[in-house]
A = this chain, B = another copy of it.
Amino acid sequence: MKLAVIGGDGIGPEVVAEGLRVLRAVHDKVETTEYDLGARRWRETGETLPDSVLEELRGHDAILLGAVGDPGVPSGVLERGLLLRLRFELDHHVNLRPVKLYPGVTSPLAGDPTIDMVVVREGTEGPYAGAGGVLRKGTPQEIATEESINTRFGVERVVRDAFRRAQRRPRRKLTLVHKNNVLTKAGDLWSRTVAEVAPEFPEISVDYQHADAASMFFITNPGRFDVIVTDNLFGDIITDIGAAITGGIGLAASGNLDPSGAHPSMFEPVHGSAPDIAGKGVADPTATVASVAMLLDHLGLTAEAARVEQAVAASLAARAASSGQPLSTREVGEDLAERSTSASTSAA
C-alpha cells in the first residue's frame, strides 16, 4: 500500500502517527511518503498545494490527513487552497461520514438514544463549487454572489453510491436531505434523481427531509436515519450535528472518496488542528484511527477494517468504564493497535 501522509498542523501529526501505528499493526505492507502541507508551509513559502505535490499525491493508493490550519491563517486560504482543492482535483465526490454513538460514549442528548447512520455528502459540486463573484467591493453598492452548481452527473453518482451503501446495511433506508421547497431548481434535480434511481433498488425504502427538519430530527429522533444522501453544504452542517450528538467532533471519522478508484481517496478526522493542545500528547487519535478503518475498507481490506473498527468500539467502551487518568495520545494509539491485532488472533 502506497500511502501519502499529510500530518498538517497542530495535533495533526500526533494523531496521524497513531493512525499509522494501527495501520501498520494490521497490514504489514505500508509504504508512506510524508507531505509537508498546511499553515506552516503556507507561512514559510506562500504555497498551499503546489501542482507538483498534487501530481505526486495522485501516484498513491490513498492519503491520510491529520488536520491543517491555525488561527493565524486567513479564513479560506487553506480551506479552498488545500482541502477543497484536493477534494475537487481528486474527484472526491463521496464525502462519507459515519454518525455512530459507540457504547459507553456519552451523548449530549438525554436518554441515551441509539444513533447509527452514515451520511453520504456530495463532495465536488453544489455551493462548494466556488462560483460567484463580487461587484463594487467595499462600496455601499457591493454585491456578492455564491453559486451552487448541481449536475445530473454529479448528483446521480453520489445518489447511486448512497443506495449501494444502504443495500449493505440492515435497515436499508435512504433519506434525501435537501431544501427543495426553497432551492427549487437544485432541489428538484436531487429529488428527481433519487426518484429515478430508486426503482433499481426496490428493497431500499426512501424518504425525504428538508435540511432544517433533518437537523431538528438529529436531535429529537436520530434513530430515524440510516443512510442519508445530501449536498455538499447541507452535509457539512448535518455531519457536525452528527458529531455533536455522538460524543463530539473528537471521535468523528471521514473519508473523501473517489469510489471509482481513478484517484486516491483521502481519509481524515473531522476535527481541526486544535493548536491549544498541540504538542502536549493529549489529543485523542480515535477519530484518525476510525478514519484508518474506513481507508482499509475502501482499499478492499475489509477484515482488517473490521478489526480496527472493533478495536475502536472496544477501546471506547473500556475507556468509558475506567475511572483512571485519561490516556495520552500514544497510549490510546498503542491500545488501539493492540486491540486490532488481538482481535485478529481471536478471529483467526
Contact = CB atoms under 8 A, between A and B. Distances in A.
Interface of A: 75-76, 79-80, 84, 106-111, 127-128, 130, 132-134, 138-153, 156, 179-189, 191-192, 211-213, 215-217, 219-220, 233, 236-241, 243-245, 248-249
Contacts of A152: 139-143
A132 B188 CA distance: 13
Contacts of A216: 240-241, 243-244, 249
Number of copies: 2
Nearest to A243: B216
Q: Taking each of A143, A144, A181, A184, which has the highest tally of chain B beta carbons within 10 Å of its own beta carbon?
A: A144
Given A108-B109, A219-B241, A184 B76 contact: yes
A338 to B, nearest CB: 31
Contacts of A151: 141-144
A185 B219 contact: no
Contact of A213 (B146, B150, B240): B240
A212 B187 contact: no
A219 to B, nearest CB: 4
A80 B224 CA distance: 28
A59 B281 CA distance: 66
Contact of A108 (B110, B184, B244): B110
Given A76-B182, A145-B185, A240 B212 contact: yes
Given A237-B215, A240-B216, A244-B219, A146 B185 contact: yes
A191 B74 CA distance: 12
17 contacts: A80-B184, A84-B182, A108-B111, A127-B127, A127-B183, A128-B182, A132-B147, A132-B186, A140-B152, A146-B185, A147-B147, A182-B233, A182-B236, A212-B240, A215-B238, A216-B241, A219-B241
10 interchain residue pairs of minimum CB distance: A142-B152, A212-B240, A219-B244, A144-B189, A79-B181, A146-B148, A216-B244, A144-B185, A76-B184, A110-B110
Given A139-B152, A220-B248, A80 B144 contact: no
Given A143-B149, A182-B233, 18 more contacts: A75-B181, A76-B181, A80-B181, A80-B184, A107-B110, A108-B111, A108-B219, A109-B109, A109-B110, A138-B192, A144-B188, A144-B189, A145-B186, A146-B148, A179-B233, A212-B239, A215-B237, A220-B244
